[in-house]
Amino acid sequence: MLAQLRQGGLQRDIDHTRVLRQARGVLACRVAEAALQGGTTAAQSAVQFAGALRVIDHIINNSVDPNVSMVDELQQMQIVQDTARLPTIAELTDGNVTVDMNPDPAEPRVISEDLPGS
């Protein structure tokens, strides 16, 4: 992966969280190594490695996997089904409905008698 980055390319299917966790492990070892060496230069290196480790920890802790986030959101939803009977158009309009697109208000045409089952 590092060779691909140096060449200017990057795979699309890389698990970035896994890579960051590996980097965190390497940095934790480097902090311990620098701290055990002793001396001013090693202490400065340990501080720099610890700062990088803190940044990677922050990125890992604040990153959210979109798939996990979506599953959490979907689990919180609850679908409620209303099985109550819906009124028909004839019931809603008391039979005052028309099929004309521009009905003449002077001649209202009631089609409730034309509906089957009326």
Q: What pLDDT is stored for residue 29 in this prediction?
A: 94
Q: Determine, yes or no, domain membership for 18.
A: yes
Q: Determine, yes or no, domain membership for 43.
A: yes
Summarised one tens digit per residue, pLDDT across range 31-75 is 999 999 988 999 999 999 999 999 999 988 887 776 677 777 777
Q: Determine, yes or no, domain membership for 28.
A: yes
Q: Determine, yes or no, domain membership for 88.
A: no
For residues 6-20, give the mean pLDDT. Answer: 77
State how many domains the chain has.
1
In this prediction the pTM is 0.48
Q: Determine, yes or no, domain membership for 41.
A: yes
Q: Which domain holds residue 53?
A: 2-67
Residue 12: pLDDT above 70?
Answer: yes
Cβ–Cβ < 8 Å for 109, 97:
no
Q: Determine, yes or no, domain membership for 21.
A: yes
CA 104 vs CA 53, 93, 95, 108, 112: distances in Å: 79, 17, 17, 7, 17
